[in-house]
Amino acid sequence: MTGVESPVYEPGHGLLKGRTAVITAAAGAGIGGATARRFLEEGARVLISDAHARRLKECEAALAREFQGAVAAVACDVTDEAQVRALFGAAVREHGRLDIVVNNAGLGGTSALVDMTDEQWTRVLDVTLNGTFRCTRTALRHMRDSGGGVIVNNASVVGWRAQAGQAHYAAAKAAVMALTRCAALEAAEYGVRVNAVSPSLAMHPHLVKVTSAQLLEELTAREAFGRYAEPWEVANVIVFLASGYSSYMTGEVVAVSSQHA
């Protein structure tokens, strides 16, 4: 990391004490994994999910060593409706209710539009947009019946700002923002809040290794702090949106970004 001084990792304050949360795409070192850890530090019971079963079990084992009894895992491909239903059903069976859902699953890629195949376009939208839709729909059904809850979706600044080679991903993330706003209006009568975060550049060591130095330099140059965000910095905002501190917010898309205005 370059630029300004590294951020301070804040300790938990019990903001989600006693809540049950489901987090998709939570295996690994990205935003989902960071959110799972932050939720556990804030006192939540967490069900992590991911399409990568082996990596998911490794993540569950690592977290369980620190947070005994507070974390469980269910593999789920968000493009499969049956698996989505099974995921949320497991959370309700285990804990009796569903309080928080973080829709983090998404798929990226880089391709010029003129060369993009139907399969590339469809795959990104099916995971990133349709997966968020499937999980939101299922979560709302449970939350409607239990009398409330919170949903936080993961969008991206590319849903607002054009970037070459990202037409499929940008279209999916812009649609996630629109889905968030519409779902929020419908969910309000159930006592459910629906918001989204929109990160600009959040990196972790594994992603840095597969990102060219030139591209990383170009991306960080757009950030006022001269560095990328740590995944837990995005997770902090997700904690805020999931907690009572944002009780009057719904239908909002919160940029987690230091990009120049």
Active site residues: 169
Rounded CA-CA distance 37/29 in Å is 10
Q: What is the DSSP string of 8-28?
A: P-PPP--TTTT-EEEESS-SS
Residue listed under structure tokens 């905002």: 237
Rounded CA-CA distance 81/134 in Å is 7
137 closest CA partner among 151, 126, 125, 123: 151
Produce one character per residue of 67-87: b if its CB has 16 or more CB atoms within 10 Å, e if not. beeebbbbbbbbbeeebbbeb
Q: Do residues 134 and 84 lie in contact, with contact meaning Cβ atoms separated by under 8 Å?
A: yes
| DSSP reduced 3-state for 41 | helix
Rounded CA-CA distance 240/13 in Å is 11
- List for the chain the helix, strand, coil content (%; round to 5): 50, 15, 35
